[in-house]
Amino acid sequence: MSGFKYKYSTLVVIFLCNVMAFMVFFNAPLKVDEVDYYPQILKYVEGDYSMNQDITAFTTYHALLAIFAKLTGLTSVWFFRAINMLFAFVSVIVFMRCAALIEKKWPSMALLQFAFFPIIFPYFFLIYTDILSLLMILIGLYFFLKKNYHWAAIFAIIGSCVRQNNIVWLAFFCLLSYGEPNNWKFSVNKGVSHLIKYWTFTMGFILFVGFVIINKGVAIGDRSMHPPFAFQLGNIYFLLFCFWFVFLPLNLGKLKEITSLFKKYKWLIPAILIGYIGFILTFNNSHPFNYQWGGYFLRNRVLIFFNTSLLLKSIYFIVVLLAIFSISQIKLEQKSFYLLYPMIILYLLPSWLIEQRYYIIPFALFLLFRKEADIKTEKILTVWLCLAGLLCFIIINSSRFFL
């Protein structure tokens, strides 16, 4: 009972912190994509269903906020941001329920790590699609953990209607729901039977394929900046780069284990040299949105800086490599959860634009799926993530920089 009370007291603290942060952010001007999203919502409120051609995703999020506006008569920026904060807080609650089903050892710390995660927390207060997208996938995961696979598929499909690339998480839930009961032994007959039994997964895949064929690609608007099937490794490298620093207390604790890998596996040195050559050949910063506005977007500053010389590219590679080794030493709660890693690669590979917002769902799932370290490390990591989340919020609120 005491653990129950402690977990819910943490939820209250998170809610109060969100309200305080929202009040600080109350009069902030529109930020980046909000400049396109806010007018789109107002169009729907006014009965104009034409779409801004700079918006790449389905306008499900915008339509939903327009419904709230119609019901209340409120159309101000702060109102829509408040609705987004509501989505965020519900996602915190769903995360808590998922953590309970996975039986996390210290659910309150996991909750704080998620609620103040540096690339998630600032978007709680912005008119962006990412938090609703995250919420739908977390609800889908909750139903999956409850073994209600039809509802897991339905919410993953809804998530795909918010952001198209969430179709990957529909596939994730589908593969997990098949693999676990069948000991990961695949056969055509069993696969077909599974897709018939859980027809909601099949329906989602058919709808997505139909959409891609009719739309001639995945992006709705701004297609020149988001071409279909432009397979790039930039986001995978940047996710790993961010991972090293975001989870720094956890990663530093793995250095001893990483060192022991070189004693155990003699082939690692030649493999790293081959990997280095591959990295140098594939690491670039070619998307226009990644080398423009370098003074405003912090991610662009990082990408531009590390692309200026071979030495800096090599340092970037070392950070990426350390992240890979650290991840290899972090155990997950269940063997089936290791499927997360190839699904993250599949999720990020088609994106030419390097954007840390794309890592929100992967990092949220990683937080849930990983086995916790010792209590001291977890406490340090919790403080680290909370401070980093607060710093990112202050940076965005300052209007001088954006993540």
pLDDT at 1: 38
Q: What is the mean pLDDT of the chain?
A: 94
Spatial distance between the Cα atoms of 172 and 365, rounded to a whole number of angstroms:
12
Q: Which token pair is 123?
A: 């978007």
pLDDT at 2: 40
Confidence of residue 4 (pLDDT cuts 50, 70, 90): very low
Spatial distance between the Cα atoms of 66 and 48, rounded to a whole number of angstroms:
11
Out of 6-20, 217-231, 326-340, pick the least confident.
Answer: 217-231
Spatial distance between the Cα atoms of 174 and 186, rounded to a whole number of angstroms:
13
Spatial distance between the Cα atoms of 279 and 356, rounded to a whole number of angstroms:
19
pLDDT of 3 strictly over 50: no
Residues 6+ apart with CB under 8 A from 349: 231, 232, 233, 235, 236
SS3 372: coil
SS3 402: strand
pLDDT at 6: 61
Confidence of residue 5 (pLDDT cuts 50, 70, 90): low
User: By the 8 A CB rule, do 79 and 72 touch?
Assistant: yes
Q: What tens digit of pLDDT does each residue of 47-84 get? A: 999 988 888 889 999 999 999 999 999 999 999 999 99
Q: What tens digit of pLDDT does each residue of 211-268 get? A: 999 988 888 877 788 887 778 999 999 999 999 999 999 999 999 999 999 888 889 9
pLDDT at 294: 82
pLDDT at 227: 82
Q: Which token pair is 5?
A: 């009370």
Rounded to 5 degrees, what are φ and ψ at 370?
Answer: -75, 150
H or E stretch including 221?
none
Spatial distance between the Cα atoms of 132 and 344, rounded to a whole number of angstroms:
19
- Of 148, 156, 198, 154, the residue nearest 178 (C-alpha): 198
User: By the 8 A CB rule, do 50 and 43 touch?
Assistant: yes
Spatial distance between the Cα atoms of 63 and 40, rounded to a whole number of angstroms:
9
Check residues 224 and 34 and name the one with the higher pLDDT.
34
Cross-strand bridge partners of residue 297: 402
Q: Which token pair is 306?
A: 């590390």
Q: What tens digit of pLDDT does each residue of 373-396 get? A: 999 999 999 999 999 999 999 999
Q: What percent of the chain has pLDDT over 70?
A: 99
The model's pTM: 0.95
Q: What percent of the chain has pLDDT over 90?
A: 84
What residue type is assigned to position 321 of the chain? Answer: L
